[in-house]
Structure 1
Amino acid sequence: MAMLIDAIPPLESASIANITPKAITAKALARPPCDCNNHSPRGCDSFCEHFTEGIHCESCKKGFYGNATAGTPYDCTPCPCPGGADCFVDKNGQVSCRNCPAGYAGRLCDTCAPGYAKSATTGGRECEPIGHVEAEKIQFVGDFPNRRRRLTYKINAYLSRRH
């Protein structure tokens, strides 16, 4: 052990006193830059910004598309798909959604799938199964217990057949 300690040259007190924050920063900046495609402000520490991910921040996160290797803050763009569906750029260079939410279809999940239609109750914003009836939206007027019970039975039977 004494031999190892003797091999280390003694530090001069003057050299320690000359170390300044500016010198430390200059030495840290002299490190070779990491290839993180300008998406990591702290170098290669796996902290990717601008909606990128990967060892070198080389791909867009789920829910985003683009070329993350271009090196700008705007490389990854949010997918235009509803319900958080993922997207990709197809062979024609167009953005296409993958895994549309239930009831939706089309390149951008912007049409209703077969068996679904735009909902009249939501102003045509949502696709619902054709023949869909929401039990909570049915209102009874008057006090006719027997008729209400028969109607409720028929509604429940109808709803159970549809699902």
Structure 2
Amino acid sequence: MIINDRFLVNATRGEVTDKLTGKTVRLEPRLMKLLCLLAEHPGQLVKRELIIREIWNDYPGADDGLNQAISGLRKLLEDDQKKIIETIPKSGYCFHGRMGEAPAVRPARRSKNIYLLAGLCIVIAGVFLARYYQATQAAISGQAAREEAKELYKLDSAQQADRLKAAGGK
């Protein structure tokens, strides 16, 4: 969600990004729950008792925690005038921020990088396989050449022995 066309809230990651400054702040879970609870009821009174029950589980010291949490959210949203989060004395709070939808996350860029990385791995694997094949072929042809040389040597030796016998037998 976006508050006042400025603050991008990512509840899943617990982050609020100020689009004006580019600064991202990570909120503790209770602050994020409080912000979301208030934003879910725009323009409506959200009673202190409900907030304490939902976020602090009726913890006895929750009143002080709630006051500090509201103060922290106001600082984050630069709500010095208390116009975004209005205090309704002894009752609760009313959220007056303009809400908008967050822009869709661009997964295409991430998947593009994955395809690029996969392609690079395939090319590297192909180069290694080609080098391995060349080395194997060279070894095989070297072995074949040695075998052929041995056969030629045997054949040549046998022919020489035949010539010697023939020459000695005349």
| TM-score, structure 1 as length reference | 0.24
| TM-score, structure 2 as length reference | 0.23
* Greater C-alpha radius of gyration: 2
Q: Comparing both structures, which one devotes a greater share of its residues to helix? A: 2
